[in-house]
């Protein structure tokens, strides 16, 4: 659970904000001034994010930010401010604050800024939400929360885990996250792409070989099992292994011993196995291409990776994450998507999942001539397929039929990832009217 420190002298507002954040699955603590914030950080360590009012008694939020940066703490810092203090908030951003949010605050905008600030921060001691290798964030949708709750449950064990999911959904990130949360975290994490191993070299890749074992074996080679000894071995696309290699793999897992190719000496190994596949291995078993005994050995616990189209709430978050990453990598000053571009992104089905999104956003940033990405920079497949993928029209269709009004609002909010500004535009109403209608229909305005 990600931790947030609230620094706010308005006790009533602070209590309300803390309760709201706890409902959103954050571990929130609140203090009333900078001195108490410093003391709490010194005693408990830095949180995942600081949410501080700008105007505070004795010392403003900028003082806390400066103190944290002097201490070498790069914790994401959000400034809350009234209209009159916006210049001070801008100064705070210049000194390292992630962003500011004006009072009175819009709950969905605040949640968006919090998630983006945490997601774009490098992994720290409190919570590692992004993986450098896969450039992946976890998301906040119900599907994401359930997945990573299971990750936290299984990580401390030594159970073999099978991760099922489409290509590009972040399976390697999840495997790495399990390793990071396990007692083996200080030992190696070794990843092998089983689909890229030639059949005649599989044994060497897994178990190693000695010099002269076969033509081309010019030196001893350490295999993946030995390299991962004490740690975690991740076998991606395990369904691509041939039958003979599966048999060798099973023996190594059962006996916890390996024999390098060409050697007469067995080596004891201790690894935790995590596997991944985008295939239905039960179907492969029925066809005779995958061994049932291997399946049960690697599948002590199953994790299902949701496709991006199944977690539409996370689409704007991922898109903006990849936008920031691409902006840094390509040295382009790109700030956000236009409402029209974000509409296309939210409506698209993303068959290639996160990998496809990362590539499309990166291309759009490269083509950008301004600080805002417009539909012009997005790939043609988004423009051509967005309507058919979601059932939403490309232009606003006003709410006219009161009998179906609630259903239309729920559907549109789901399709836009709960982006209320975009939903209001699609429904042909303004944001205030949408909030009023949500209230009248008993819909959660803070979700």
Same domain, 268 and 336: no
Same domain, 323 and 260: no
Contacts of 43 (CB under 8 A, 6+ apart): none
The pLDDT, as a whole number, for residue 389 is 43
The pLDDT, as a whole number, for residue 428 is 64
> Does the residue 70 lie in any domain?
yes
Q: Which of 99, 119, 139 is where one domain is finished?
A: 119
Same domain, 143 and 272: yes
Same domain, 176 and 66: no
Q: Which of 119, 148, 177 is where one domain is finished?
A: 119
Q: Which of 306, 332, 347 is where one domain is finished?
A: 306
pLDDT averaged over consecutive 10-residue blocks of the chain (447 residues)?
88 86 87 92 88 88 89 87 67 79 76 78 38 59 91 94 91 92 90 81 86 79 88 92 90 91 89 92 90 94 93 91 88 89 90 89 91 89 60 45 71 75 68 76 69
Residue 272 sits in a domain whose CATH number is 3.40.50.300
> Does the residue 124 lie in any domain?
no
Same domain, 135 and 203: yes
% of the chain at pLDDT higher than 90: 32
Residue 89 sits in a domain whose CATH number is 3.40.50.2300
pLDDT tens digit sequence for 327-353: 888 888 898 999 889 989 998 989 889
Same domain, 86 and 7: yes
Same domain, 101 and 149: no
Same domain, 137 and 249: yes
Write out the residue range of the structural domain in which residue 135 sits.
Answer: 130-306
> Does the residue 125 lie in any domain?
no
Domains of the chain: total: 3
Same domain, 87 and 142: no
């Amino acid at each position: 659970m990600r931790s947030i420190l609230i620094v706010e002298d308005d006790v009533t507002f602070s209590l309300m904000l803390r309760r709201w954040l706890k409902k959103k699955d954050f571990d929130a603590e609140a203090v009333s001034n900078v001195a108490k914030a410093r003391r709490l950080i010194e005693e408990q360590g830095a949180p995942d994010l600081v949410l501080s009012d700008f105007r505070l008694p004795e010392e403003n939020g900028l003082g806390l930010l400066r103190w944290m940066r002097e201490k070498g703490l790069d914790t994401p810092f959000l400034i809350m401010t009234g209209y009159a203090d916006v210049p001070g908030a801008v100064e705070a951003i210049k000194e390292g604050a992630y962003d500011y949010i004006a009072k009175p605050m819009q709950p969905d905008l605040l949640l968006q800024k919090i998630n983006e600030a945490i997601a774009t921060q490098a992994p720290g001691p409190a919570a590692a939400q992004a993986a450098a290798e896969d450039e992946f964030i976890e998301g906040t949708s119900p599907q994401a929360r359930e997945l990573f709750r299971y990750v936290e449950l299984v990580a401390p064990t030594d159970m073999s885990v099978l991760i099922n999911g489409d290509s590009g959904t972040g399976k390697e990130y999840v495997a790495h996250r399990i390793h990071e949360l396990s007692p083996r975290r200080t030992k190696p994490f070794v990843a092998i792409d089983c689909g890229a191993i030639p059949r005649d070299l599989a044994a060497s890749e897994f178990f190693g070989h000695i010099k002269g074992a076969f033509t081309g074996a010019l030196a001893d080679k350490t295999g993946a099992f030995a390299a991962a000894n004490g740690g975690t071995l991740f076998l991606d696309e395990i369904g691509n292994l041939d039958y003979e290699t599966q048999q060798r793999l099973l023996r190594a897992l059962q006996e916890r011993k390996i024999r390098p190719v060409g050697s007469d000496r067995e080596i004891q190994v201790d690894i935790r196995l995590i596997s991944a596949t985008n295939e239905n291995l039960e179907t492969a078993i029925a066809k005779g291409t995958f061994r049932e005994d291997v399946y049960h050995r690697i599948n002590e616990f199953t994790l299902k990776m949701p496709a991006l189209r199944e977690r539409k709430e996370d689409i704007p978050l991922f898109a903006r994450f990849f936008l920031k990453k691409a902006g840094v990598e390509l040295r382009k000053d790109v700030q956000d998507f236009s409402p029209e571009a974000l509409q296309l992104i939210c409506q698209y089905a993303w068959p290639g999942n996160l990998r496809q999104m990362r590539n499309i956003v990166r291309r759009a940033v490269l083509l950008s001539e301004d600080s805002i990405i417009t539909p012009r920079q997005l790939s043609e497949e988004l423009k051509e397929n967005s309507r058919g993928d979601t059932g939403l029209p490309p232009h606003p269709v006003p709410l006219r039929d009161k009998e179906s009004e609630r259903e239309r609002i729920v559907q549109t909010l789901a399709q836009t990832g709960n982006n209320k500004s975009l939903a209001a535009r699609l429904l042909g109403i303004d944001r205030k009217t949408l909030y009023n209608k949500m209230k009248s229909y008993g819909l959660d305005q803070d979700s």
